[in-house]
Chain A
C-alpha cells in the first residue's frame, strides 16, 4: 500500500464539514514527508454498521458514528487517531473507543485533545511534537488559530446558506458555491489568503439572486435546536435541514463549532438568566442552550421549532419537559425527533411534511384572522 511510505497516518472522526479546518490544522503542523492525513470516508450506512456492530448497544449514537469512522480509517491504513471530548458521555468516548479498537486488534496511537474535561494546550502540543519533532509551540497555536478562523468563516457561510437557500431564484446555485468554497478552504496557507478567499466567496454567495422580500416573508421559518452531533452532522439526522429547505422552509440553527467553543461559554450565564422562568441551573451539554434558544426563537417570530437528539442523549431528554412547557406558554409548535441506527427516510419525511403543512396552515389562518380583525375595526 502506498500509505506505508508514511510513518504516521493521522485520522479523526467526521462531524459535518469540519473536516476542512481539522485537515488544514493537521496538514500545517505535521511533517509532510513523514505524515499523511487521512480524511475519513464520507459517512454512509456502512460507517454506521461498523460502528454499531462494535459499540455498546445503549451508548448514544455519535459514539457509534465515531467508531465507524475510525474503523474505516484504520482499514485505510491510519495509525494515529485524534479524538476530542465534552461535558456529557462525550467525556469518556476517547478512553472507551481506544479500548474497543485495541481489543479489535488494531494497532495505533491515540491522541485525546480533552483530558478529564480539561483542555491543556501545552500537553496536546507535546503529543503532536512526538509526531513532528520540528514543531514549535508558537506554530502549533498559530495554526490552531488559523483553523479556528476557517471554522468561523465556514460557519458564517453555512449560516447564510441555511437561512436563504429556500429563497433562491434559481435552485442549486448555493450548493455549487458551497462545494467550491470547501475545496478552497482546505488548502489555506495564511491568514491573508484566508481573508481573500472568504471575501471572494462571501461576495459571490451574497450576489446570488433571491426572491423578493414579500415572497420571503411568506415562507415558513423553522428553528432547529438540540444535541450538537445530530445538529452538525447532517448524515446522522438524515439531512433534516436539506429536507426542510426542499419543502420550502428557511432554517436557523445556533449550534456550530464557533458557537460551542466561543460564544456559548461566554453567554451561558446570560442564557440561564434569560430563561430563569424555566431553569435555574445548567442542564449539562446542550440542554441549557436548547431551552434558551427555544424561548428566543419563539420571541423572534419563528413558525416552529424542531428539537433533535440521538437516542440515549440524557441532557436533551431532560430538556424535553421544559420545552413542552415553553411550547404551551409561547404557543409555538415543537416537534421532537430522536435519531438512531434506524435509517429509513420515509418515517422522517412523513413527520417533516406534516409539520411543515401544519405551520403553513397556521400561518394562513393567522393572516385571515388579522384581516378579519382589520375589517371588524374598519367596519
Chain B
C-alpha cells in the first residue's frame, strides 16, 4: 500500500475544516471546529487533531500535497507552506464531483457567504456568489438562534416541529431581525418563528443567487448550514425536488482542495511538512503602508520571530520583504 497522503484545509469565517485523504480520495482523517476569529490557532488545532487521528489508526503517512481554501486561504497557505491555494468555489465543485459525478446543481451556504454552482457534464458552467450582503447565510442563522436562546445545533429540529411557519421578511438581515422581534412580540410560537427563519434563508438564497439559473437534478446541498435539517426541508419544499446532503457535506471544500493539491503535484515530490505545527510560534502583525494615500493594511507573518511573508498590499511596494538579515 502506498503511504502517500494529501491534506486539505478549508478556513472559513465561522469554522475551520481539515481532511487527510489517500491516493484514492478516501477521507482517512477529518476535523471540524470553530475558527473563533483566529484562523492560525484553529488551523493548529485542526492539524494536531488530524495527526492524532492518524496516530491512533497507526498509519504513518507521508504528505505529498497541502491545499488551502476559504477566506483565510492565503494566510494559512503561507503558514503551512501549501503547494496549492485555491478559491472555495472551485474547491467545492471538485470535492462534490469526486463523490457525485452526476451532480448538476450545488447549493452551498457557509458562515458568511453562499454560492450556487451549476454543473453540466461534470464541468462547472456557471456560478453565483452573494455580493455586498451576508443576508441568508449561516451568520444570520446563528445570530438569530442566539437571540431566541436556542443552541444553533437544535435549530433544525425545532423548525421541523412547526406546522405553520411564520412569514419573515428575508431581503435584509437587519429588516428580518426587526420583523422577527415583531412576530415574537405579537405572540407567534418559537417553533413557528424558527421554521420561518429557515424558510427566510432559503427564500433569500433563491431570490439572490438563483435568478435566471435553472436548478436541475441532482441537487446537492452543502456547507455548514446543510447540517440544519430545517433549511434542508425548506429547500426541498421551495424547489420541489429531492435535495441530497452528504454525511461529509461540511467537508467538501477541504476535500476538494486536497484532491486539487494531489493533482497539481505531478512529479510526486514529498513535501516538507511538520505535523507538529502546534509547537511553532506564528505571529501576525498588521501595519499600514504609508507609501501612498491608499494606506493598504499590510499583514506581516512571523514564524518563530522571523518574518516569512507580507500580504495585503495593492502594489508590490508594501508587500516586499526588506531583508534585515
A311 to B127, CA, bound (A): 21
Q: A362 to B132, Cβ gap below 8 A?
A: no
Contacts A41-B293, A44-B294, A353-B90 supplied; 11 other A-B pairs, CB < 8 Å:
A342-B132, A345-B314, A346-B71, A350-B87, A353-B86, A354-B90, A357-B90, A358-B89, A358-B126, A365-B121, A365-B123
Q: B125 to A362, Cβ gap below 8 A?
A: yes
Contact partner, A338, options B71, B89, B131, B294, Cβ 8 Å = B131
B266: Cβ under 8 A from any A Cβ: no
Knowing A354-B90, A361-B123, the reply to whether A324 touches B129 (Cβ < 8 A) is: no
Q: B295 to A333, Cβ gap below 8 A?
A: no
Q: A46 to B212, Cβ gap below 8 A?
A: no
B285: Cβ under 8 A from any A Cβ: no
Closest CB of chain A to B311's CB: distance in Å?
10
Contact partner, B87, options A47, A342, A357, Cβ 8 Å = A357
A253: Cβ under 8 A from any B Cβ: no
Q: B123 to A353, Cβ gap below 8 A?
A: no
On chain A, the residues within 8 Å of B294 by CB distance are 44-46
A102: Cβ under 8 A from any B Cβ: no
On chain B, the residues within 8 Å of A233 by CB distance are none
Knowing A44-B293, A324-B212, A328-B212, the reply to whether A358 touches B90 (Cβ < 8 A) is: yes
On chain A, the residues within 8 Å of B126 by CB distance are 327, 333, 358
A349 to B292, CA, bound (A): 22
Chain A, residue nearest B129 (CB): A351
On chain A, the residues within 8 Å of B122 by CB distance are 365
On chain B, the residues within 8 Å of A346 by CB distance are 71
Per-position contact with A for B290-309: 1 when CB-CB < 8 Å, else 0?
00111100000000000000
Closest CB of chain A to B286's CB: distance in Å?
14
B124: Cβ under 8 A from any A Cβ: yes
Per-position contact with B for A48-66: 1 when CB-CB < 8 Å, else 0?
0000000000000000000
A109: Cβ under 8 A from any B Cβ: no
Q: A311 to B293, Cβ gap below 8 A?
A: no
A340 to B126, CA, bound (A): 24
Instruction: Name the interface residues of B92-148: CB closer than 8 Å to any CB of A.
Output: 121-127, 129, 131-132
Knowing A324-B211, A324-B212, A342-B132, the reply to whether A362 touches B123 (Cβ < 8 A) is: yes
Q: A44 to B292, Cβ gap below 8 A?
A: yes
A and B contact pairs by CB, cutoff 8 A, 6 listed = A46-B294, A350-B89, A353-B87, A354-B88, A358-B123, A362-B123
A239 to B71, CA, bound (A): 20
Q: A337 to B131, Cβ gap below 8 A?
A: yes
Chain A: interface size category: 20 to 34
A365 to B97, CA, bound (A): 15
On chain B, the residues within 8 Å of A338 by CB distance are 131-132
A105: Cβ under 8 A from any B Cβ: no
A359 to B284, CA, bound (A): 35
Closest CB of chain A to B131's CB: distance in Å?
6
Centre residue among A47, A340, A351, A354 by max chain B CB count within 10 A:
A354
On chain B, the residues within 8 Å of A361 by CB distance are 123-124
Closest CB of chain A to B126's CB: distance in Å?
5
A337 to B132, CA, bound (A): 10
Chain A, residue nearest B213 (CB): A324
A44 to B293, CA, bound (A): 6
A42 to B211, CA, bound (A): 38
A339 to B119, CA, bound (A): 27
A353 to B85, CA, bound (A): 11
Closest CB of chain B to A35's CB: distance in Å?
26
A265: Cβ under 8 A from any B Cβ: no
On chain B, the residues within 8 Å of A354 by CB distance are 87-90, 127, 129
Q: Which 4 A-B pairs have the closest CB atoms?
A: A324-B212, A354-B89, A44-B293, A46-B293
A44 to B294, CA, bound (A): 5
Closest CB of chain B to A242's CB: distance in Å?
10
On chain A, the residues within 8 Å of B124 by CB distance are 357-358, 361-362
Closest CB of chain A to B317's CB: distance in Å?
13
Knowing A328-B212, A346-B71, the reply to whether A358 touches B127 (Cβ < 8 A) is: yes
Closest CB of chain A to B287's CB: distance in Å?
16
On chain B, the residues within 8 Å of A350 by CB distance are 71, 87-89, 129
On chain A, the residues within 8 Å of B86 by CB distance are 353, 357
Per-position contact with A for B47-90: 1 when CB-CB < 8 Å, else 0?
00000000000000000000000010000000000000011111
Q: B123 to A311, Cβ gap below 8 A?
A: no
On chain B, the residues within 8 Å of A47 by CB distance are 293
A42 to B293, CA, bound (A): 9
Closest CB of chain A to B177's CB: distance in Å?
21
Closest CB of chain B to A94's CB: distance in Å?
26
Contact partner, B212, options A321, A351, A353, Cβ 8 Å = A321
A355 to B118, CA, bound (A): 12
Centre residue among B86, B125, B129 by max chain A CB count within 10 A:
B125
Instruction: Name the interface residues of A315-352: CB closer than 8 Å to any CB of B.
Output: 321, 324-325, 327-328, 333, 337-338, 340, 342, 345-347, 349-351
Closest CB of chain B to A50's CB: distance in Å?
10
Closest CB of chain A to B116's CB: distance in Å?
12
Closest CB of chain B to A147's CB: distance in Å?
28
On chain B, the residues within 8 Å of A333 by CB distance are 125-126
On chain B, the residues within 8 Å of A337 by CB distance are 131
A121 to B211, CA, bound (A): 46
On chain A, the residues within 8 Å of B131 by CB distance are 337-338, 347
Centre residue among A42, A345, A350 by max chain B CB count within 10 A:
A350
Q: A340 to B132, Cβ gap below 8 A?
A: yes
A362 to B71, CA, bound (A): 25
A346 to B75, CA, bound (A): 12
On chain A, the residues within 8 Å of B123 by CB distance are 358, 361-362, 365
Closest CB of chain B to A350's CB: distance in Å?
5
Centre residue among B71, B124, B211, B292 by max chain A CB count within 10 A:
B124
Per-position contact with B for A208-243: 1 when CB-CB < 8 Å, else 0?
000000000000000000000000000000010000
Instruction: Name the interface residues of B195-212: CB closer than 8 Å to any CB of A.
Output: 211-212
